[in-house]
Structure 1
C-alpha cells in the first residue's frame, strides 16, 4: 500500500517540478523585456478593418542600448490560414527581446473571412506600421526582418520576395531586409493545389480559392530573383512531405539566383515541434538568427 502511494506521488512531484521550472524560466525571460500589446496597425475607421485581427504586440528590451537602435523581427504565426493568434507566441517575443531584438508579433485576418491575398496585404500593412513606428520602441526601421512558422513562414517568404505588396501601399521599396522561415507552408501553392495529392488537400481551396492564377500570385516560389532578400530556412526532418518537397525546391530556386541563404533540415523534428523548440532561448534557430539580423551591433 505504501509503495502504491509513493508511485502515485512521484509523477505528481515531477509534474510540479516541471511546472515550477517552466514558470521560473518564463519569469526570468520576461523580466528583461517589456510588452506593449494590442496596437492597431490599420486605421480603425477604415472599412474592412477587423478590431481583433489588425493588431500587433511589440516586445522590446527594458535596457535598450543608449546610442544604437536594435534590429527588428516581425513574427507571423501559422495555423493553416484559418486559425492562430499573436497571443500564443509571447514566448517568442520575450526571447527575442531578451537577446537584444525588438520583436513585433502580429495578427492578420483569417479564412473563411478572407483569402490569402488579403492576409498578405495585412502582413505588409503591419510591416509598414513597423517602419513608421518602431523607432519609438528602440528598433531600427532600416533593419526589419520577417519571420514565421508554417503558413506564417509562407507569408514571410512572400513579403521578402514580392515587393508589389509594398508598392500597393505607396512604399517606394521593400523594407524587408531578410526572412527567417521555420517549416514554411505555402511556398508553392500553385503546384500543391494543382496536384491535390495528399489527403484533405481540398480544405485549402477555402483560403486560396479555385483560381490557379491566384495560387501562383501568392506563391513565393515564383518571385525569387537575383535581388531577393537573404534568408534562413529550416524544415523538420519529420515534417509533412509537402513542406519537405517545397522547401527543397525553394532552396534550389534561391541557389539558382545566387540568393544569400542557409537551409537546414533539423533531424527528428515534426511540424509543431519546429515552433515549440523556440521556447528555449539557446535553440539553434535563435543562435543563427542573432547573427543573421546583426543583434548586438
Structure 2
C-alpha cells in the first residue's frame, strides 16, 4: 500500500496522531483534484479485525467546498474505531447533480474494490455528509433500493443495499419540497442549477422528486442518524425527513438543538472546538458501532 506522507497540519490544527492518513488517492484515474479521496484509519498493531467504513461527502451548497477542511472531523471518527473515506466530487455550476451522483457512485465502487487493503470491511458501509454532501449521501443510499432512481442518474450501485448499514445526515436537505415554500432561504434557482440545461423545459416539481431522498424511502432503508438545530437553514427539511422515516418504521437516531444553542449554526459539526460537535461525534461513533457491528465468526464444527 502506498502511504503519502503529506502533513495534515496544513488542513487542520492539532491533528489527531492516533490516525493514519492516506491522502489524495485518485478514485477515477484522471489525475484531477476533484476526483481524489482520503482514507483515515486508526493505528492498530498486527492483523486486526476489519472495521466498518464511513464514507463522507463535504458540503458547500453543491457549488463549493473541499474534503481537506473535513480532515479533522473525519479523523475524530476514525479514532472512534472505523475507516473513514473523505471524498471530493464535481460541483455546480459547471456540473449537475447527475455528475455528483456519478462521482459518489465511483467513490463507492473504489471503496468496494480497495477498502479491505486499508483494514475496512466493504460489507459494513455507512454513508454520510453535511449539507449538500449529506444530500448526495442520502440519494446514493436511496438509489441502492430504487432502480428507477439509479437509472435516472445513469448509475449502477456497486454496493449491495444490504451492505449499506446506515446513513448520517448533518444539516442535510433530504426534502426538496421545502424549496417551494414561500420565503425559503434558497431560491428555486438551486433546483434549476442542478438540472441539465438548468431545467429548461422541465416541470420543476416533477424534477425535484428525483432530487429529494424523502420521496424514495423503502421499508428496507438502513438506519439514519440526523443532527440539526433550529439555527440550521434546513431544520424543517430535517424534521420532515425524521417524520417520514418514523412513519415507515425505519430506525432514526436524532440529535436536535434548540435556538438557544449558539454554536449550532448550519454545518456546525465541522468545528471540533464546540462541545455540541463533540456530542455529535460521540453519538455518531455509537451509531456506527450499533448499525455496523462486527460479524460473529461461525463456530467451527
- TM-score class, shorter: 0.7 to 0.9
* Contact 1:58–1:105 (CA under 8 A) maintained in structure 2: yes
Pair 1:180-2:188 in alignment: no
From 277, 282, 285, the equivalent of 1:287 is 282
What's the counterpart of residue 224 of structure 1?
Answer: 217
Distance 1:279 1:199, change over 3 A: closer
Residue 42 of structure 2 corresponds to residue 61 of structure 1: yes
Runs of 5+ consecutive residues of structure 1 not aligned to the other structure: 1-21, 45-49
| TM-score after normalising by structure 2 | 0.79
2:21 — aligned with what?
35
CA contact (8 A) 2:109 2:159 kept: no
Give the conservation status (yes or no) of the 8 Å contact 2:70–2:270.
no
Q: Rate the CA distance shift 1:43–1:279 in 2: closer, same or farther, 3 A.
A: farther
Q: Secondary structure in 1 aligned to 2:178? A: helix
C-alpha displacement at 1:43, in angstroms? 3.6
Tell me the number of residue pairs that the alignment of Structure 1 and Structure 2 aligns. Answer: 263
Is contact 2:169-2:226 (8 Å) kept?
yes
- The equivalent of 1:260 in structure 2 is 251
Q: Against the structure 1 CA distance between its residues 41 and 172, is the aligned structure 2 distance closer, same or farther, given a 3 Å change threshold?
A: closer
Structure 2 unmatched runs, 5+: 1-11, 295-301
| Residues 73 and 144 in structure 1, CA contact (< 8 A), matched pair in contact too | yes
1:85 aligns with 2:66: yes
Alignment correspondent of 1:119 = 100
Q: Which has the larger radius of gyration?
A: 1
- Do the aligned residues in 2 keep the contact of 1:236 with 1:274 (CA within 8 Å)? no
What is the aligned partner in structure 2 of residue 14 from structure 1? Answer: none
- Which residue, 110, 113, 136 being the options, matches 1:155? 136
Choose between structure 1 and 2: higher helix proportion.
Answer: 1
Q: Distance in 2 between matches of 1:170 and 1:157?
A: 13
Kindly indicate whether the alpha-carbon contact (under 8 Å) linking 2:54 and 2:84 is maintained by their aligned counterparts in 1: yes
